[in-house]
Amino acid sequence: MKTIIEKQEIIPILLEYYSQLLKEATYQEHLFQKKYKHFFEDFELYINNTNKENFEEWDDYMEWKSFRKSIENYEQKIKSIKHGDFKP
């Protein structure tokens, strides 16, 4: 026996799921902003223009960059879901 779930029924679940992921990624970004006292774009400029090697900063930069991409992705998914532009 198949259970059929309508597209409209899954919207609140998906919105909650991606909103929680967005909240977690945003919190992680906040921790990096607090640690380096800069926004990502300023820290990225620093990393790309410095001649000194600091592996902790480089690792943080890569992780922070990943969180930024995740935030953008989650925001886009939430926008798409709100407009009904997704496939269950």
Q: DSSP assignment, residue 11?
A: H
Q: Is residue 74 part of a domain?
A: yes
- What is the reported pLDDT for 7? 81
Question: Tokens representing 51?
Answer: 């001649």
- What is the reported pLDDT for 48? 95
- What is the reported pLDDT for 84? 85
pLDDT in tens, 60-84: 999 999 999 999 999 999 999 999 8
Range of the domain at 52: 25-81
Tell me the C-alpha distance between 11 and 24, whole Å: 20
Which residue stretches of the chain have pLDDT < 50?
Answer: none
Q: Is residue 55 part of a domain?
A: yes
Distance spanning both ends of the chain, measured CA to CA: 19
pTM: 0.85
Q: Is residue 11 part of a domain?
A: no
